[in-house]
Amino acid sequence: MHKLLVSACLLGHPVRYDGKGGGPFDQLTAWQQEGRLVLLCPEVAGGLPTPRPPAEIAGGQGSEVLDGQARVLTVAGEDVSGAFLAGAEQALRLVRQHGIHIAILKSGSPSCGNLLIYDGTFSGTKVSGEGVTAALLRREGLEVFSELELPAAALALARLES
């Protein structure tokens, strides 16, 4: 049985920057009951508190943060790139430990966004791109989905198990 890495907030864990969780999502609940889910909040795993100031990637995408070419900054301008990188590394350790090939991460997040992230101006503007953890997991060869793509994630899992 293949396991999936899932953002802890999607299962209702109050780990988001604003101290809230999300969900419920029937598909995630079903997979959790099957014992498939490995939960992680990369930002908390990287040492950030809950709640915490909003943060966005300034000057690039998650891949540029991984390469040291962009930074993750809070709304007050504090550089929290180190915590985001540490959380991404923790996600990668779990992926390797559990042989995970699929991740379902929180959309829009500077850690977990897989298609869209905020543009770094704290204006609410989203741009195409991915967060730090999503970028690292893609580099590792994972298929990365958001909670908005659960049917596609289910198809990917079915392909993996066929």
Tell me which residue has tokens 């939960």. 39
Per-residue pLDDT at 42 exceeds 90: yes
Distance between CA atoms of 143 and 141, rounded to whole angstroms? 7
pTM, two decimal places? 0.97
Q: Percentage of the chain surpassing pLDDT 90?
A: 96
Residues 76-120 have pLDDT tens digits of 999 999 999 999 999 999 999 999 999 999 999 999 999 999 999
Q: Is 108 exposed, middle or buried (0-12, 13-18, 19+ CB in 10 A)?
A: middle
**Rg (Cα) of the chain, in Å, rounded?**
15
pLDDT computed for residue 24 by the predictor: 80
Beta bridge partners of 126: 118
In 4-160, at which residue ranges do the beta strands (DSSP E only) sit?
A: 4-7, 37-40, 55-58, 71-74, 102-105, 116-118, 126-128, 143-146
